[in-house]
Amino acid sequence: MKNFSISWTVSETLKMMTSKSFRVRVSNVLSAFKRQYKAVSEDTYILCSICEILDNPKGLRNEDIQRHLLAYIKSVRPKTSLARKVLRDTNIYTKRWIGNLLYSCDDPHIPRTNTAMEALIGRFKRNVRRATEWCRSNDFCVRWGKFLVFVMHVRPEAVLGLLGRLT
């Protein structure tokens, strides 16, 4: 049985590190990592540029942002196959959803992110539950695709009282 002491492990590792096959394996791993790093950093740059356009720091209108975003996507010339795939997918999704993507730029009352929209809906549902003393929100809030419909079964004379309690 071999002695697996620290000094033995270090000496065996040093022997292995000086072998040509070890250096070749390490070199192959490093070159693969460099290629992957290059592709991922290019993807990151493209996506960060798109995020910067969508953040709308200039306060542009919806149509101007759409035009700017599509022009940017068209102008990018990716160098790696991964970046080409990411850009192709981004282009497909952008063209599919761009008509409904940027309403929040024209209307400040519309939340800009999914998280902000979910928070708005959550606050509304909590306030309605508190006002109506209902346990579940399914009785008055129905989601269907991109639509959110609020349905309430309340007598007309009670509406003013409910609205007063929501604020």
Q: Which of 49-58, 63-72, 77-86, 141-150 has the lowest mean pLDDT?
A: 141-150
Instruction: Place 14 in a pLDDT band, splitting at 50, 70 and 90.
Output: low
Identify whether 70 is part of a domain: yes
Number of domains in the chain: 2
- On whether both 155 and 83 belong to a single domain, the answer is no
- On whether both 102 and 127 belong to a single domain, the answer is no
Give the pLDDT score at 4. Answer: 61
Residue with tokens 């003013």: 160
User: What's the burial of 104, exposed, middle or buried (CB within 10 Å: 0-12/13-18/19+)?
Assistant: middle
**pLDDT higher than threshold 70 for residue 8:** no
Please count the residues of the chain: 167
Identify whether 17 is part of a domain: yes
Last residue of a domain, one of 106, 127, 150: 106
- On whether both 19 and 78 belong to a single domain, the answer is yes
Per the structure, the complete domain to which residue 61 belongs is given by 6-106
Identify whether 1 is part of a domain: no
Identify whether 13 is part of a domain: yes
- On whether both 101 and 121 belong to a single domain, the answer is no
Residue 150, strand partner residues: 141
- On whether both 135 and 67 belong to a single domain, the answer is no
Identify whether 127 is part of a domain: yes
Cα–Cα distances (Å) from 57 to 52, 61, 103, 105, 146, in that order, read: 8, 11, 16, 11, 27
- On whether both 129 and 146 belong to a single domain, the answer is yes
- On whether both 102 and 39 belong to a single domain, the answer is yes
Residue pLDDT, tens place only, 98-151: 877 777 777 777 777 788 888 887 887 787 778 777 776 665 666 655 565 565
- On whether both 40 and 73 belong to a single domain, the answer is yes
Last residue of a domain, one of 79, 106, 133: 106
- On whether both 99 and 140 belong to a single domain, the answer is no
Last residue of a domain, one of 106, 134, 149: 106
What is the average pLDDT across 38-42? Answer: 88
- On whether both 79 and 13 belong to a single domain, the answer is yes
Give the pLDDT score at 146. Answer: 58
- On whether both 17 and 57 belong to a single domain, the answer is yes
- On whether both 123 and 68 belong to a single domain, the answer is no
